[in-house]
Amino acid sequence: DMLWEEEMVVVEYDGIVHLAEERRRSDAVRRNLLQDAGYLVIVFTARDLRHPEAMCATVMSALRRRPAR
């Protein structure tokens, strides 16, 4: 997982461990708290790893849209 604090962007990777119901619930609670605090949360999965250029483009686009505080 990664954080750009100044831009308030969070990138999370949800691997196989995140498939368990209890983990999914705790992930949802954490994401909701981050979003309520003004963070943009981007979530990638294993399938996204096949397209690293697209992942980078998604993150770069988010960072451009959210200027540093």
Confidence at 44, pLDDT banded by 50, 70, 90: very high
SS3 44: strand
Q: Give the separation between CA 6 and CA 9, rounded to whole angstroms.
A: 8
Q: Which residue has the higher pLDDT, 37 or 24?
A: 37
User: pTM to 2 decimals?
Assistant: 0.85
Residue 13 identity: Y
E strand or H helix that includes residue 50: none
Cβ-proximal residues to 3 (8 Å cutoff; 6+ apart), any chain:
9, 10, 11
